[in-house]
């Protein structure tokens, strides 16, 4: 689960990370009022969306009067901001954050991420902030530092000081920087985050370190113990297809194709999408119904796939181990009874109770296209799509 910049800053400030003063606004008039509350002579108006690259896309403006603040906010509200990290349709802007300006001497980068491969936490820092870490790692890999944190031991003081020295900070800032890094790590750890990024982390002309921007993502599986984080969810920033599936306990990722997929097992799902592309088609989604799928769960998955209006053909590919092919077949038949299925459906079943599953489909009298192999299923899906589009 992702959250907005202002929400991440509120959480970080709670753990002791310095952030600029700012205020949230839901209208241009409220944005203008926020700058008068903050005082000063200049403010930054930032679109609050779940995407990076806002500045390049016109989502960040520096203003020098309340009128400019109101005009900048008025320009942002209601538009869909398209950034290099967003989908082609962009993200809608329904709120802006008005923040005091900071006199910047240097921009740094600080990030913390969970490495699932090594089961450790990686802290990534760079003496050059304000740009994407992927770009920096490609253009100047020597500028990126990586520190490994063993979760059982935690982020040690010497590691924090070592990072501060590695960033080339003056001696008087080593201790404050180490405190900031440890505070950010505590926020990451205690809130079950999977990613925390402060970019840029600014060294001001007054010799202070301030988090000018912040991103945080959280482990969905841990949200049951963080109700306050769950309440920060903004559905307007999510793919409605993914929200619909997630609310029903399904692992779903929306894509841009027109062949909907319902598969069990992440590896088989990836192989199926590759086979669809090999056959000349484009998958509309990644959907793993998981193990032990009951007919009711299959029905929910069917509904999730058909929730996407772009889907013109549906491919069901099940290799049953924990699952049972007869359960899947019963769910498919139930879907035809409860849903308005008007698109071709291709089904490939293999594994436990496969003969019983095929019998259920065969005797249902429904216009279901069956396939024996994955390659056969992919080819029939692309062929059905061609017939559907030409009809």
Q: What is the distance between the alpha carbons of residues 110 and 228, in angstroms, rounded to a whole number?
A: 25
Residue 54 annotated as part of some ligand binding site: yes
Are the C-beta atoms of 253 and 285 separated by less than 8 Å? yes
Residue 46 labeled ligand binder: yes
> Nearest-CA neighbor of 42 among 130, 104, 102, 107?
102
Contacts of 319 (CB under 8 A, 6+ apart): 264, 265, 268, 350, 351
Catalytic residue chosen out of the listed positions 109, 185, 330, 379:
109
Catalytic residue among 6, 97, 185, 197: 197
Q: How many CA atoms lie within 13 A of 156 on its CB side?
A: 9
DSSP 94: -
199 labelled ligand-binding: yes
- Is position 213 annotated in a ligand binding site? yes
Asked whether the CA dihedral 108, 114, 116, 121 is positive or negative, the reply is: positive
Q: What is the number of residues in the chain?
A: 391
H/E stretch holding 166: helix 157-166
Residue 264 annotated as part of some ligand binding site:
yes
**Of the candidates 42, 99, 83, 61, which has an alpha carbon nearest to the alpha carbon of residue 214?**
99
CA dihedral 210, 215, 216, 217 (to 10 degrees): -170
The answer to whether 197 is a known catalytic residue is yes
Beta bridge partners of 285: 254
Strands 285-288 and 251-254, bridge-based pairing: antiparallel
CA-to-CA distance for 257 and 40, rounded, in angstroms? Answer: 50
Known binding-site residue numbers for Mg(2+):
199, 213
Known binding-site residue numbers:
46, 53-55, 99, 102, 107, 199, 213, 264
Known binding-site residue numbers for ATP:
46, 53-55, 99, 102, 107
Which residues are catalytically annotated? 109, 197
Known binding-site residue numbers for substrate:
264
């Amino acid at each position: 689960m992702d959250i907005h910049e202002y929400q991440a800053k509120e959480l970080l400030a709670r753990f002791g990370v310095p952030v600029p003063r700012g205020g949230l606004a839901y209208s241009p008039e409220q944005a203008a009022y926020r700058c008068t509350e903050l005082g000063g002579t200049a403010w930054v108006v930032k679109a609050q969306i779940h995407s990076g690259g806002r500045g390049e896309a016109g989502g960040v403006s520096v203003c020098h009067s309340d009128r400019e603040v109101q005009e900048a906010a008025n320009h942002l509200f209601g538009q869909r901001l398209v950034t290099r990290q967003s989908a082609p349709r962009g993200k809608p802007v329904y709120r802006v954050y008005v923040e005091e300006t900071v006199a910047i001497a240097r921009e740094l980068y600080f990030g913390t991420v969970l490495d699932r491969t090594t089961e450790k936490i990686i802290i990534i820092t760079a003496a050059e902030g304000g740009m994407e870490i992927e770009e920096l790692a490609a253009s100047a890999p020597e500028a990126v530092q990586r520190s490994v944190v063993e979760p059982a031991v935690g982020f040690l003081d010497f590691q924090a000081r070592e990072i501060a020295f590695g960033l080339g900070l003056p001696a008087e800032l080593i201790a404050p920087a180490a405190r900031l890094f440890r505070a950010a790590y505590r926020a990451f750890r205690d809130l079950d985050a999977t990613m925390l990024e402060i970019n840029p982390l600014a060294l001001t002309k007054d010799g202070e370190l301030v988090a000018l921007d912040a991103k945080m993502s959280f482990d969905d599986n841990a949200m049951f113990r963080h109700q306050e984080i769950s309440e920060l969810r903004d559905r307007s920033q999510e793919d409605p297809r993914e929200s619909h599936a997630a609310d029903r306990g399904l692992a779903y990722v929306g894509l841009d194709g027109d062949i909907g997929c319902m598969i069990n097992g992440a590896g088989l799902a990836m192989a199926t999408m590759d086979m669809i592309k090999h056959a000349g088609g484009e998958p509309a989604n990644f959907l793993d119904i998981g193990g032990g799928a009951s007919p009711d769960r299959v029905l929910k998955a069917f509904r999730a796939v058909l929730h996407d209006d772009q889907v013109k053909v549906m491919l069901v590919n099940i290799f049953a181990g924990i699952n049972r092919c007869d359960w899947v077949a019963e769910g498919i038949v139930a879907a035809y009874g409860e849903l308005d299925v008007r698109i071709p459906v291709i089904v490939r079943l293999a594994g436990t109770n496969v003969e019983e599953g095929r019998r259920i489909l065969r005797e249902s009298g429904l216009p279901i296209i069956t396939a024996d192999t994955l390659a056969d299923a992919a080819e029939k899906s692309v062929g059905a799509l061609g017939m559907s589009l030409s009809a």
